[in-house]
Amino acid sequence: VQLQASGGGLVQAGGSLRLSCAASGRTFNRYTVAWFRQAPGKEREFLAVISWSGGSTRYADSVKGRFTISRDNAKNTAYLQMNSLKPEDTAVYYCAAELWGSTTSADFRSWGQGTQGTQVT
């Protein structure tokens, strides 16, 4: 599967953004999808994952209660709704997918190119 992430931008602290991850092909509903981010000078950080059916999700403690991952298999798209944004959320955000992946795993072999940088001021 090929992934295309979009939706980053400039936002004030306390604001919201929604990121999208559009997938190619007709097997998107077989892929578990996750969101990661990487801030300048820092390692890539796991944020959230959603199962292929959408029935199971898991979040990093740093975003739990503020970010929501979802998917629309009919549109071959996954989303990350980000609310109550903080300056420390400034990063480039990536989506990733794994065929029949587990939401407890951190192994994802398909990656999008990353959104334009999200900057929270």
pLDDT by residue (tens digit) across 29-66? 999 999 999 999 999 999 999 999 999 999 999 999 99
> Closest by alpha carbon to 52, among 107, 102, 106?
102
Q: How far apart are CA 74 and CA 67, in angstroms?
A: 22
Q: How far apart are CA 58 and CA 14, in angstroms?
A: 23
Q: Which residue has the tokens 């400034």?
A: 90
User: Lowest mean pLDDT: which of 6-10, 11-15, 43-47, 104-108?
Assistant: 104-108
pLDDT of residue 82: 97
What SS3 class is residue 115?
Answer: coil
